[in-house]
Each structure stands twice: as C-alpha cells, then as structure tokens.
Structure 1
C-alpha cells in the first residue's frame, strides 16, 4: 500500500475536516517547516473568530512563530536556504529583532507576504500530488499584503471544535520531530535508526543522541483521530490519558521466567497507544480484543503514511521481527504476535 493509499484509508475512517487537517499536518512532505507555521497561524486567527484576514495579517503570527522556533532548532535541512531574499535568510537577519519588538520587522513581514502564496499556501492542501478532502482557505486575487485570505467553513469548524487544543498540540509535536530530523540530518541517524521511546518519560528520543524530542501522546494521537484505542471514544480536553501497551508488557516477563520471549519488543512505538486512564486501568494485563488490534493496525498504517522519521521507526520495528513490511502489513504482523500467546 502506497503512502497515498494509506492516507486515503485514514480519511475514509473519518471523512471530516479534522481528518483533512491531520493529513496536511501529519502526513505531508516536510522540505521546510513552513506549513506548521501556517497551520499555527490559521488555528490562531480562525479560533479568534475571523472569517477572513488580509495576507499581511496572516503573515504576522506565521512569521513570529517561525522566529520563535528558529532560535532553538533548524527550520530546513542544512544548506537549503537560498539567496539574500530567501525567507529563512531574512529570518536569520530579522528574527531576533522581531521577537524583541513583539511583531515582525518590515523586512520580515515583506518576506513572509512575498513567500506565503507561492511557497506555502499553494502546497498546504496537497498531499503528494493528491488534493485533501477539504480546503481551509481561499486566497483572493491581487498582489501584496492586502490580498484577502478567506477562511472556509471547514477551517472554522476545526478551529472552533472541542479538539482544537489537541490539534494545536499535535502540530507542535510534529513540528519538533521534523526540526530534530533536520538537526540530525535526514538520511543519516534518524533514517537509519528511527526513534525510540523512553520508558520512564514516554518521550520519543533520537536513538543516537539520546535526547527527548516530543511526548509520545501528542506525537501519535492524531493518527488515532484523537480517540482512545481501547473504547474508540474521543479523548476530550482535560481527560486523564495513559499510554497503553496493547499487547501487555507482562508477556515478556511471563515468558522470560521459563524461556526467552519469542515475540517482538513490546516497549516500542508499534505497541504503544494513548487511551483513557480508566480504560487502560480496566484492561490491566489482558490480551487485546480483535477490535483493538484492528484500530492499532489502522493507526500504525496511518503513521506509515507520514514522512520520516516516524514511518522509518515502524518500518524498522516490523522488519526486524516479522520480515518485509510489505508482506501482509500491520494486520498480519499483529496476528502473528497474537498467535504466539493464544
């Protein structure tokens, strides 16, 4: 199954504006982090009740969010910046001053207005050449910062929904993962080794540098449509959440008392899923039900449609324990694990 087909399957499970939003944020290609800054600005302005804004007004939170992030992490792969008028080059000159002022400098604002329509806004709704199921804005005709950006009903429903805070948190987690990929060097450690999970903090970590990147829950819960893997209900804001070992971790201990556990490592990303605290407590150490395995397979398949490094992480975890990832996919992998204990 191709990444596009995996994304289409994700959307089919919940053909809503939220699913289209998550496809854009979680599954789109990441040559730079511009789309995350655009998503942040869209959620902020639409959440304030705006139905439309000028391009210049959109460029203000867009540019400031990039300035804030650029002080701590790279916003593009090393060496990708262009000439003196390239947005990232201007950001390097004017970002710190903009943060001190609390608004973009004239130079940074002009660079954002110039680059947004072509570099970012034309690409936000496309996923590997395929259009999303929903559009979130329409850019009016003309040139310059006075051009109108009209927010669609789909964006207003996303930004005004109960899940809006969670969508913002998911976006932030994905942004940090991509920044770390740029910092480490795509094609080197993250691609070769993927990410691991710190069992104590439940943070995704860079295997080579052993540094925390993003908490597991906001990094993956969007691929579950922000639903509890166990009961399949939406996890509402403020609800107590735990990360469930879908196949209980105790299996490794039980088998270890007699002979080595013959299955895959159960402490890895493929087997960890956010769930309601109450659901996780009630489940205890029981084996997963068929419906839970179906949801886990669907979640892992959705992650496989995202760019590196999460996709690579699951590819490695599947191939080291179950052969080629294309041979039956996640449903076959999970059936094979269950066959070991039933």
Structure 2
C-alpha cells in the first residue's frame, strides 16, 4: 500500500507487526521512551546527565534528585521491552508487559540482588543488570548466577541500547563504561565476583529459539 511519491509507504511488514505478540506491548514501550526524554526536559537536564535508578518494590525507573526526593519516570518493564521483542531474556518464550496478563514479565536482576549486601558490585539496581524474564525462569533462577553464555547476551543487549541511541544510552554508559572494552571488563569483573560469592550457576530448562 502506498501514497503519492515522496509520501509514506506502508509495506506488508508494517501490517505483520499487528499480528505479532509484541504489538500489544508497543504502546507501553513508546510511552516509556517518551517519558525518559520528557523527564530530562522537565528537569532541565541533558540526557547524558540523567541518572536512572530502579525501585525494586515499585517496579519503576526513577531519577534521584539532590534534595533526596525522586522523580518517577516510567515502568521498568516498558522501558526494557523493546530490545527483547516481547521474549524472555533467558528462554525466549513470549512475555507481556501489560499488568494483569498471565504471562506478565518479571524484572530480573541478572546478577542476583542478594549480592547487594556485599557491596562489591557497583549499582546492582542499575539498568545494566536488569532484564525481563518469564515467571518460570525468574522463579527457578532465584539467587543463582546465570551461566556464562548469558553474560555475553547481556553485554550485547547493553551495547545495542547504547549504539541505537536509546534514551537509556547515557545511563548505561555511566554505569558500565565509555568503551566496549570498558563495559566488557566491568561485566566480566562483576560476574566473577558473583560466581565466587554465590558459587551456583543456573540456566533455563529449555530455550525456544534465539530471538536476539
């Protein structure tokens, strides 16, 4: 389907989007991206100074302020979903970011949150360490460290969001490093601390075809 020359052309691929599971998540993802940008404007801050943190209890990404107050930005699920294309980070089964759905995704700390007590790994609640997982994976993983191959998957995810100029780009750079080498070193070092501390590693019982 097309319009006049120089106008917008709608291809079959566009219409196929409406047939996929991910289509139902699209409005929330778009809203989340806009909220991240709008928050920077509202606080009169450059995006590279916007330091995003995660509230475990409320499930929200927020910006801490100097006066110790905070500005809630958006749902963590909504902000992270685009890269994962509506799939679990570990097993690739379909997930949803709509509250009330049976397949609602859990926000998982890739390196378990329990490590926060040791204070050896920087900013475990940072976006760099958060992924969306199906309920089965998240609740079987518990306080175990994912097998090492998933660390590379996390590194690829973080670098993708940085290279695509996603609104979380600058936050990820601030949390993990300016260069690919810096980020790789940060993740490997953090992973080694996690394995040395928790010992046990984990992987899903089954993967349903690589999506990202």
1:218 Cα deviation from its structure 2 partner: 1.0
CA displacement at 1:234 relative to structure 2: 3.2
Is the contact between residue 22 and residue 85 of structure 2 (CA under 8 Å) also seen in structure 1? no
1:300-339 paired onto structure 2 within 5 Å: 300-307=158-165, 309-319=167-177, 325-326=178-179, 328-339=181-192
Q: Which runs of 5+ in 1 are unaligned?
A: 1-51, 53-137, 143-147, 256-260, 320-324
The one of 148, 154, 163 aligned to 2:13: 154
Judging changes above 3 Å, is the alpha-carbon distance between structure 1 residues 141 and 201 closer, same or farther for their aligned structure 2 residues?
same
User: TM-score of the superposition, structure 1-length normalised?
Assistant: 0.50
SS of corresponding position for 1:211: strand
For residue 60 of structure 2, the aligned residue among 186, 203, 215 is: 203
Residue 245 of structure 1 corresponds to which residue in structure 2?
A: 109
Structure 1 or 2: more helix by fraction: 1
Could you report, residue by residue, the CA deviation over 1:211-259 in whole angstroms, capped at 9, with x for unpaired residues?
Answer: 1111011101112232211213332573132111111111233x3xxxx
Q: Offset of 1:291 from its aligned partner?
A: 2.7
Q: Deviations over 1:4-32 (max 9, x none)?
A: xxxxxxxxxxxxxxxxxxxxxxxxxxxxx
* Count of paired positions: 188
- Indicate if the aligned counterparts of 2:62 and 2:72 stay in contact, CA closer than 8 A: yes
Matches within 5 A, 1:289-300: 289-300=147-158
Deviation at 1:186, TM superposition (A): 4.1
CA distance in 2, matches of 1:263, 1:177: 26
Of 31, 39, 51 in structure 2, the residue corresponding to residue 194 of structure 1 is 51
1:114 counterpart residue number: none
Provide the C-alpha distance between the structure 1 equivalents of 2:8 and 2:164, rounded to a whole number of angstroms. 28
User: Any gaps of 5 or more consecutive residues in structure 2?
Assistant: 197-212
Distance 1:222 1:170 in 2: 6
Rg comparison, structure with higher value: 1
Deviation for aligned residue 1:180: 1.6
Q: 2: CA distance between counterparts of 1:225 and 1:165? A: 11
Q: Deviations over 1:149-187 (max 9, x none)?
A: 542111101123221111222111112212222222242
Contact 1:193 1:207 in 2 (8 A): no
Tell me: CA distance 1:309–1:207, structure 2 relative to 1, closer, same or farther (3 Å).
farther
The answer (yes or no) to whether the contact 2:106–2:134 under 8 Å persists in 1 is: yes
